[in-house]
Amino acid sequence: MSKSDRNEGHSFELSTRLPVRIEKEQELEKKCPQFVKLLEKVADRLDSSGRSQVTQRKLDSSKQKTEVTRRKFLQANVRVETLNEVILKSELNSLTLPGASYETALVNRLKENLTMAEVSCMLDLGEIGGEAVTTLGIDQQDTRLTYRARLAEDHREFCRQLSPLVEDHLFTKCESILQLVDDDDVGGESRRALHPRILRLSDKVMDLTNKVIRDEEEVAEVNRKWEMASRDQVELMGHLLNKLDLLVNTHYAEIKNRSNTTLVKYLSAKTDALLLKLKCLELEVLNATYTKDSVAAIRKVAKRQEERIAITKLQIERLKDSLVQYKAAGPEFNQVVLEYARLQKEIEGKRWALNELGGGSNGPPAV
């Protein structure tokens, strides 16, 4: 076996023997071999639960004693509860139908015996100042409490007489339990037919109890595996997040920066190319618009327009001179102008009337 195999064997053994989780076991054994030896010594003295082996043995022994005592207590408690139920059932039945005197006497004696048993168990209150103290000062050796113990044959006879009542009550309870745990219908069967099934009822209840325990263990095992898988998934997600953080913050950010720079340069060059293309289109439009003939025509039109502008400027100068002369003539000239305008309108109106009147002649009449 190689050294690495031995190291893996030690690590696996420590992981199973100690109630702790050891991560990176091989690195721990390489870096801290003395600590691994200390863990091995601790594992030799500890139980898988984390307690020392001596403490665990004492605990197991105490658990066994407690379980035995618990079983004895439960058995005694079941007996007492059953007897109390028999008494209660008899008293309830007596409220509706009068019971047999024989059964009533048995139940009354049973009540007395239960009371005496309870009283005898509650007499001893301990010691005060070295002196035994009992309830109400009753002596535990009182003949009223002890004479019944000497009548063993009488008690055996009483138990034989009481057994049918207890059996009937227990049969009724077992039948109700059988209806719960058994799939078959037990309503129409006789007591003799049900008796074998009731005898096997404890085994059936034990099987159901064991099945419940197995199911609980399976559920606990599934929960443990689920927790382990969940823990592994969380750990894996942590590693993935670290790797993603490294990829995003280191590689992707750097690549994205270069990509953005390249994209900006490309868009800038593309914009410059579009501007040059627009400039070329503008020049092509100008070249197609201003041909040799169109330029000559435009020049002629421009020359004509310049001549018209010169003529218009001369007319404006003349009108300005006339306006100056009109202003120099004074306000009386305004009356003359208005009168002249009125006469012009009147002449025009008469001329229109003459034209309308002499429209059928060869020519208009002389004015």
* Tens of each residue's pLDDT in the chain, 367 residues: 444 444 444 444 555 666 666 666 666 667 777 777 777 777 777 776 667 777 888 888 999 999 999 888 888 888 888 888 888 888 887 777 776 777 778 788 778 777 776 666 655 656 667 776 665 556 666 665 555 555 566 667 777 777 777 877 777 887 777 777 776 666 666 777 777 777 777 788 888 888 899 999 999 999 989 988 998 898 899 889 888 888 888 777 778 888 888 999 999 999 999 999 999 999 988 888 888 888 888 889 999 999 999 999 999 998 888 878 777 777 777 787 788 888 889 899 888 888 888 754 444 444 4
330 within a domain of the structure (yes/no): yes
The answer on 305 and 260 residing in a single domain is no
Positions of E strands within 63-174: 124-128, 131-134
Is position 283 within any domain?
no
pLDDT at 140: 60
Q: What is the pLDDT at residue 235?
A: 87
Q: Are 181 and 201 in contact (CB under 8 A)?
A: yes
* Closest C-alpha to 200, from 215, 184, 214: 184
Q: Which has the closest alpha carbon to 91: 106, 105, 78, 104?
A: 104
Whether residue 244 is found in the same domain as residue 308:
no
Q: Is residue 56 part of a domain?
A: no
Per-residue confidence (pLDDT) for residue 91, from 0 to 100 = 80
pTM: 0.41
Cα-atom radius of gyration of the chain, to the nearest Å? Answer: 64
| Distance set, CA 281 to CA 268, 277, 284, 295, 334 (Å) | 20, 6, 5, 20, 62
> DSSP class of residue 137?
G
Kindly report the number of other CB atoms within 10 A of residue 154's CB atom. 10
Choose the final residue of a domain: 273, 300, 329: 273
In a domain, 38, yes or no: no
245 and 307 housed in the same domain: no
CA distances from 366 to 348, 351, 355 (A): 14, 10, 11
Name the residue among 123, 126, 159 with its Cα closest to residue 142. Answer: 123
Give the residue among 93, 98, 141, 91 at the shortest CA–CA distance from 120.
141
Co-location of 210 and 268 in the same domain: yes
Identify the domain containing residue 263 by its residue range.
200-273
Answer yes or no: do 264 and 320 share one domain: no
| Same domain for 312 and 269 | no
Rounded Cα gap, residues 342 and 349, in angstroms:
11
The pLDDT, as a whole number, for residue 269 is 94
Where a domain ends, among 218, 243, 273? 273
Query: 132-137, long-range: CB within 8 Å, 24+ apart, which pairs?
Result: none
304 and 346 both lie in a single domain: yes
**Is there a single domain that holds both residue 212 and residue 255?**
yes
**Does 329 map to a domain?**
yes
In which region does residue 330 sit, left (phi positive, over 0), alpha (psi from -120 to 50) or beta (all else)? left
Judgement on whether residues 209 and 264 belong to the same structural domain of the protein:
yes
H or E element: which one contains 171? Answer: helix 152-181
Task: Say if 101 falls within a structural domain.
Answer: no
In a domain, 242, yes or no: yes
- Asked whether the beta carbons of 22 and 28 are under 8 A apart, the reply is yes
256 falls within a domain: yes
Query: Among the three residues 246, 273, 300, which one is the final residue of a domain in this structure?
Result: 273
User: What total of structural domains would you count in the chain?
Assistant: 2
